[in-house]
A = this chain, B = another copy of it.
Amino acid sequence: MDMQKFCFGVDIGGTSIKMGLFADDGTLVEKWSIPTDLAENGAHILSDIAGSIQEKITQKGMALSSVLGVGIGVPGPVDENGVVHKCVNLGWGTTDVKQKMEALLQLPAFVGNDANVAALGEMFRGGGKGFSNLVMVTLGTGVGGGIILNGKIVHGSNGAGGEIGHLHMRDNEPEPCGCGNHGCLEQYASATGIVRLLKRYLAAHPEAPEVLASPLSTAQAPSAKQIFDEAKQQDALAQKLVEEVCDLLGKALANISCVVDPQVFVIGGGVSQAGDILLSGIQAAYRKYAFHAAREASFRLAELGNDAGIYGCAKMVLE
C-alpha cells in the first residue's frame, strides 16, 4: 500500500502566519498559527515557518518523504519563479522565497501572492469549486484580487497579476491611494473606501432628506458593516452608498471580463459578509456593463473565509 502523503500550506500575514497540514486529497488535517516576527526587516519569518513545520513533522511522527512540499502565500507581488518583489508589510526587499524555503526544509516550495493564493483556494474547495477560470475579489481593508486561468494563478510578469484593487476607476480623485495613484477601485470599494464615500456624501449634502433621516449621519465611527446593515433596513442613504459601490465593482468586473472572460467571479473578504445585498448588487451592475458574450458569468460568495489562503497554498503543491 502506498504511504499516505501530505503537504503544508502557509499564509503569511502582517501579524500572524496561518499554517495548515493537508492530506494529499486536499483535506485539512490540522491548522494552527504562529506570530509574524517583524524584527530585523522580517529576517526570521522564513526560518520560523521552517521550524514550525519541522516541529509538526516530528510531533506527528511523519516521514520527510511523505511530505510533498510547502505552499506559501505572501502579502506582496510574487513572480512565477517564486521571487517576492518587495513586501512592505513584512519589511522584505526582493527575496527568493522559493529557493530559501527549499534550502531550509529540503522540500519543494511553491510561492504565490496572498490574494492570488486565496483565489486558488476558493477554486479548490470554496465558492469557485468546479470552475477552472475564475476571478476572486477580496474586499477587506484593501481590495485584492486573484485571476485563475486553466486552474493556474496568473502571477504576471512583475507579480502584479490580479492587482484589481488598483484598477483606475475615477479621474479627478483628490486623495491618493496607498499605491500613490489617484482613483483606484480600492479607494471606494474597500471597507475604508465605503466609509470614505459616506463621509463625502455627508459633507456634500448635509441637509438632504436621506441624510437627515439616516442613523449614519450621526454615527461616531461608522463602519462598512453598519452601512450594509442600514441598507438592509431600507435606509435610503445606506442604499445609495451600496448602489454606488456595487456600480463601481460591477463596472470593474465587466472590464476584467473583457480581458480574461472568466466563468465565475467569487466575492470574498470581510465586506462580503454583507452577503446577498452585495452579491446581487454587483451582479446587476456587471450585467449592465459587461460585453454581451460574457454577460452570463456566474457570481458566488467566497466560502473559506480566512482559510482560503492555506487551501490555495496546498493546491499549489498538490497540482
| B-binding residues in A (CB < 8 A) | 77, 85, 133, 147, 149, 154-164, 166-168, 179-181, 251, 254-263, 289, 291-294, 296-297
CB distance from A107 to the nearest CB of B (A): 25
Total copies of the chain: 2
Known contacts A77-B293, A85-B293, A179-B292; decide if A258 and B166 are in contact (CB<8 Å): yes
CA gap between A254 and B257 in the complex, in Å: 15
Which of B156, B163, B167, B291 is close to A166, meaning CB atoms less than 8 Å apart?
A: B291
Some 25 contacts from A to B, beta carbons below 8 A apart, are A147-B259, A147-B260, A154-B259, A154-B260, A154-B261, A156-B260, A156-B261, A157-B261, A157-B263, A157-B294, A158-B261, A160-B257, A160-B258, A160-B293, A160-B294, A161-B259, A163-B258, A163-B261, A163-B293, A166-B291, A167-B255, A168-B255, A168-B289, A179-B291, A180-B292
B contact residues around A261 at 8 Å (CB):
154-161, 163
In the complex, the answer to whether B292 meets A164 with C-beta atoms within 8 Å is no
The secondary-structure label for the interface of chain A is loop
> Does the CB pair B168–A260 fall under 8 Å?
no
Docked complex Cα distance between A155 and B161 (Å):
17
List B contacts of A161 (CB < 8 A). 259-261
A155 nearest CB neighbor, chain B only: B261
Contact B133 A258 (CB under 8 A): no
Q: With A85-B293, A149-B149, A294-B160 as known contacts, state yes or no: A255 contacts B255, CB within 8 Å.
A: yes
